[in-house]
Structure 1
Amino acid sequence: MTAAPVKAREYSSFDITSDDFWSRPFAVRDETFAQLRAGQGLTWHQPLESMFPIEEPGFWALTRRADIAFVSQHPELFTSAQGVALSPMPAEIQRFASFFLSMDPPQHTVYRRLISSAFTPRNVRQIEQQIHDNAVAIVDDLVGAGDVEFVSACSAKLPMRTIMDMLGVPAADQPDVAYAADKLFGISDEEYVSDDERVGDPVAQIALLSNTGIELAKFRRAHPGDDLMTSMVNAEVDGHKLTDEEIGAFLILLASAGNDTTKQATTHAMMALVENPEQREWLMEDFDGRIGPAIEEFIRWASPVIQFARFATVDTEINGHPVSAGDKVGLFYCSANRDETVFDNPGIFDLRRESNPHLGFGGGGPHFCLGSQLAKTELRNLFRELLSRLKIVEFGEPDLLFSSFAHGVKRLPAHIQ
């Protein structure tokens, strides 16, 4: 497949690829996305900067919810197998780092069924007590703590502890696994990776996570336990079982995506609740009855994953707009979650939303987030403790992650009583 010649297209006058654009706050960036949504909704843009020596002609930016959902739900027209990174990156590296995210049905279906055996509602319920205990312990340390850095003291702890518990990562290996996961999501931020390290360092972190998963799989094959890893090594679909290398690839995905997304949702939601005390009061009037819809708003508001990409497999159309085989399309979830045709007052944090079809877990279709229920379980348990036990929470100015992929907060100074 080859994309249409660059000369046949005119780049949009709206900049959504430069470092300057991605250095701006989320709300400021959305002013540009709002103009794109109000126009054609699908525009041709220069490629994002890449750490790899790859040249691409550009990509179509999808900014409306309906268009992103359409692409997500038609893998026969828009493939993931050529990679899901909007920034130009070798497909083989993407396949190693993102496992079955870079697959299409029917191959993707087999792997999703294999992995799903470890994420059934019953298995999530089995670990809920452990999630609850970890949430209690995290907030125990926050009560009366005074001045703290909220991301490291709270947001980052529960998702990583959950993953470590589920996989059975030895305590001695946990700091290195957590560090590697954070580095992968921060590769575009110069604080985490220098220009000299930008290619080699992510590869090293990917290798560390993969090797950890391989060793855990080998151990559980020889010494079965009652954990996710044992379920994974024993899972079988249509005669297929996961190899140790495939389990290593899944650990990369789980330790990075499954960790950072919940961490960022926690931070953004807590900032919004502090800024909107009437929303917190409303939630606490009936926490158990209202936390479900509230979590949906947490995720819409945070939009932890900003975008993913697909490639058109054939000449087709998106909402009447022609797209050629081989074209890359960027699915901007951050824009879909502020779509004025779908959400009333999308720039307002509102826990009372009766309808909240956000795309925080993807646009539907085969790649809908496999860990969505686990993330909701973590958020429900953690916010029950945070909101019922902390009497005073004050935040300073957040230190934002520079990234076109993750809506991240690196540090958030807090005063807690």
Structure 2
Amino acid sequence: MTTTADEPDIDPLDLSSLDFWGRPMTERDATFAELRRERPISWHRPPEGMLMPSADDPGFWAVVRHEDIGYVSKNAKLFCSGQGVQFQDAPPEILEATQSFLAMDAPRHTKLRKIVSAAFTPKQVARVEDRIAQRARTIVDQLLDRLSDGADGDFVQLVAKQLPRGTIYDLMGAPEEHQDSLAEAADLLVATNDPDVLENLGLEDPIAAAGQALMNLLGPAMELVEARRKDPRDDLMTNLVSAEVDGESLTDQEIGAFFVLLSVAGNDTTRNTIAHSVLRLQENPDQRAWLLEDLDGRMHPAVEEFVRHASPVLTFRRTAVEDTELRGHRIAAGDKVVMFYESGNRDDEVFTDPQRFDLSRDPNPHVGFGGGGPHFCMGNMLARTQLRQIFAQLLTRAPGLTVGRPEMLRSNFVHAVKTMPCSLGG
């Protein structure tokens, strides 16, 4: 990979270190605010913690303003996804088995996304909304039972993980008995930078951990592929098994990669938005009270602020296809361009008082589901539905729920809460 003939200076504010991503969000916000104000396009050394570090990797351009994130996202002919979309590189076999059409470009991306998106249309989401609502009620039933008589627990395990896990694997048709282990494998796949996670599992090598997670996802996925070929059902796996692109069926490898992608994207992002938002509501009782005054009427704008404030996906990258410019900086063909969504969602040129958790914020053009363009999150309506249903249950049926200090995952990819104590202490 090459960069500009006169390689730019490395920015003094370091976005590449794992230490930076282990800091509280407020500290990261201060760094991003300075970059937005003074150097909205900046050059940085390669990120730490890569599964496959390369001496030939010169670094990346950081894109931190809302406007520029949208520009890069929507200009897929200038900034491609087919050379990888994660902040850090990984072995090709891991990329191929995990990123599916997320790391594809047109025309194949367009065709494969069309097949998959049939499961996420407004009509299909409406069809499963009753099941989501019932699952949300059951989760809160179990939460209240678990925390009765002064007991405490982990909000992530008891609530935040439960709804997205069940929703996504129900859509795919994965058996109930496999869903816990599948969700655990998906969690591990995005946690290989966190030494505490690896130590708890008795693992030392991040590549080995990623390989183990993949095996634990792909094994059940291939079993499900064979089962649906023999016995088609009304689920997404049946759609994938029977689909054709350019007259050819999807390969088992392509179906498996999508299963892995959906396991991560469908589980992690909604789960972490739930966890962050219940804490924000506790910290902002005025906003909680405002929402409760008209729960049905105010839940839609509230959900948008949940996503903006949580920014559950921290980064995605693109690769410049040809020489171009961003705010006067020459971007060479082959340069990595990383979008920082957490920063875009705090851009004071777009959001008034962006640090404030304001459930009435309108408009709220956050980039929590991406900056638009062909890779905009196709599961956004499903995520919004889950958030509406679980918070309707929590706010009306568990008014005394109290959460404690969260333990955060050290990650430059997802804004993940590992654990967060909870009780009904009032």
Fold match (TM-score > 0.5): yes
CA apart distance, 1:240 = 4.2
Q: Tell me the distance in 2 between the aligned counterparts of 1:133 and 1:96.
A: 33
Q: Tell me the equivalent position of 1:300.
A: 308
Q: Tell me the equivalent position of 1:361.
A: 369
Shift of the 343–240 alpha-carbon distance from structure 1 to 2, 3 Å rule, reads farther
Cα displacement string for residues 222-279 of structure 1 (whole angstroms, at most 9, x for unaligned residues):
1011222223323345534333322211110111111000000000111001111111
Q: Tell me the distance in 2 between the aligned counterparts of 1:86 and 1:229.
A: 29
Q: For the Cα contact (< 8 Å) 1:47–1:59, is it kept in 2?
A: yes
1:226-305 correspondence runs (5 A):
226-236=234-244, 238-305=246-313
Comparing 7-16 with 107-116, greater Cα deviation is found at: 7-16
CA apart distance, 1:370 = 1.2
The correspondence for 1:150, drawn from 138, 146, 155, is 155
CA apart distance, 1:143 = 2.1
Q: Tell me the equivalent position of 2:44.
A: 45
1:143-222 correspondence runs (5 A):
143=144, 145=147, 146=150, 147-194=152-199, 196-222=204-230
Q: For the Cα contact (< 8 Å) 1:100–1:111, is it kept in 2?
A: yes
Q: Tell me the equivalent position of 1:134.
A: 135
CA apart distance, 1:40 = 2.4
Q: Tell me the equivalent position of 1:83.
A: 84
Question: Are residue 413 (structure 1) and residue 412 (structure 2) matched?
Answer: no
Q: Which amino acid aligns with 2:389?
A: N
Cα displacement string for residues 56-83 of structure 1 (whole angstroms, at most 9, x for unaligned residues):
1110100001111101101111111110
Q: Tell me the equivalent position of 1:32.
A: 31
Q: Tell me the distance in 2 between the aligned counterparts of 1:289 and 1:273.
A: 17
1:366-377 correspondence runs (5 A):
366-377=374-385
Q: Which amino acid aligns with 1:399?
A: E
How many residues are paired up?
A: 416
CA apart distance, 1:178 = 1.6
Q: Which amino acid aligns with 1:96?
A: A
1:199 match: secondary structure = helix
Q: Tell me the distance in 2 between the aligned counterparts of 1:328 and 1:95.
A: 19
Q: Tell me the equivalent position of 2:341.
A: 333
1:317 match: secondary structure = strand
Q: Which amino acid aligns with 1:133?
A: Q
Q: Tell me the distance in 2 between the aligned counterparts of 1:53 and 1:315.
A: 25
Comparing 334-343 with 88-97, greater Cα deviation is found at: 88-97
Q: For the Cα contact (< 8 Å) 2:4–2:330, is it kept in 1?
A: no
Q: Tell me the distance in 1 between the aligned counterparts of 2:90 and 2:240.
A: 29
Cα displacement string for residues 83-111 of structure 1 (whole angstroms, at most 9, x for unaligned residues):
01111323443232111111111111011
Q: Tell me the equivalent position of 1:14.
A: 13
Q: Tell me the equivalent position of 1:97.
A: 98
Q: Which amino acid aligns with 1:176?
A: S
Comparing 259-268 with 181-190, greater Cα deviation is found at: 181-190
Q: Tell me the distance in 2 between the aligned counterparts of 1:248 and 1:213.
A: 6
Cα displacement string for residues 341-373 of structure 1 (whole angstroms, at most 9, x for unaligned residues):
000000010001111110000010000001111
2:197 match: secondary structure = coil
Q: Tell me the distance in 2 between the aligned counterparts of 1:292 and 1:47.
A: 39
Q: Tell me the distance in 2 between the aligned counterparts of 1:291 and 1:302.
A: 16
Q: Tell me the distance in 1 between the aligned counterparts of 2:120 and 2:416.
A: 26
Q: Tell me the distance in 1 between the aligned counterparts of 2:53 and 2:84.
A: 16
CA RMSD of aligned residues (A): 1.6
1:359 match: secondary structure = coil
Q: For the Cα contact (< 8 Å) 1:142–1:416, is it kept in 2?
A: no
CA apart distance, 1:210 = 2.2
Q: Tell me the distance in 1 between the aligned counterparts of 2:110 and 2:291.
A: 38
Unaligned runs of 5+ in 2: none
Q: For the Cα contact (< 8 Å) 1:181–1:256, is it kept in 2?
A: yes
Q: Which amino acid aligns with 2:31?
A: T
CA apart distance, 1:291 = 0.9
Q: Tell me the distance in 1 between the aligned counterparts of 2:24 and 2:90.
A: 25
1:8 match: secondary structure = coil
Unaligned runs of 5+ in 1: none
